[in-house]
Amino acid sequence: MNDNKPYDLEKLNPDKLRLKKRRILFKRFFVATLIIAVISLKLMSLTILTGGAISSLKANNPGQAIQRLFPLKILNIIETYKLYFNKGNALFIKGDYPSAEKNYREAQKSAPKEFLCQITFNLILSIEAQADKAVEDKDYDKAVDRYEEIVAIVKNTKCGFTLSEKEAEGKMKKSAEEGKEKSDKAKQDRNGDKEKVKPNEQKDAKDPTPTDEQQRKLDESNENSSKKRQQREQDRSYSDRKYDAKNW
């Protein structure tokens, strides 16, 4: 008895064989292809959103920049330093230095070594702005603490080896020197204010009408304060000195 079976000609159909192989390949690589597509879409959206936020900052529209950065908190869970650094810059431009400082500190936590000191320099500027404001408000104790904090940050921060990091390191060292000088000046102002109020001066202060000599000294004091304030504003130029928003 012959056990040989005839060939199934349907199975030898080349078109059907190719279709079957394609289906097998599709099933095997579908998941991988889907993952790659999602990652590509995500990376593209991150670049577009960050680029849009940077454009808003260049147009001096920090509020719009913050809105455009908001989705990145969910989308970009790996490189969060980008979100916090750029958001810090937006808040910096708005003049919200405490919130800018908070975001720069968050950026530091996950930033690679090659970007650390650029972020830290902006952090220093946000602290310096708050310290200068404390001096204007004659809150000298707070000002001294914040200026000395700048010196400590520079001392304890190790920069990367890129050219940008070396440049940032030089700026940080200069800020530390300025912070030390401003701290010493704030201490002098603080001690000078304490010496101004004496018993006989308190008695004179009760007289609502100052003498000509008192008025002249008061005018000179106001003029000097105005000049110092203008000089601080010229020297400060925070936005010109800081590192702009990045799309690393």
Q: Is the pLDDT of residue 197 over 60?
A: no
Pick the CATH number of 23-199 from 1.25.40.10, 2.40.30.10, 3.40.630.30, 3.50.30.50: 1.25.40.10
Structure tokens at 53: 């936020």
Q: What tens digit of pLDDT does each residue of 157-184 get? A: 999 899 999 999 999 999 999 999 999 9
**pLDDT given at position 235:** 46
More confident residue, 227 or 218: 218
Tallying the residues shown for the chain, one arrives at 248
CB 126 within 8 A of CB 100: yes
More confident residue, 200 or 57: 57
- Say how many C-beta atoms besides its own lie within 10 A of residue 180's C-beta: 14
Q: What tens digit of pLDDT does each residue of 55-92 get? A: 877 777 878 878 877 776 666 666 788 889 989 999 99
Read off the pLDDT band of 96 (50, 70, 90). very high
**pLDDT given at position 101:** 97
Q: What is the pTM of this model?
A: 0.65
Could you state, in order of their start, the residue ranges of all structural domains in the chain? 23-199
As a whole number of angstroms, the distance between CA 11 and CA 25 comes to: 18
As a whole number of angstroms, the distance between CA 159 and CA 120 comes to: 9
- Quote the mean pLDDT of the chain: 78
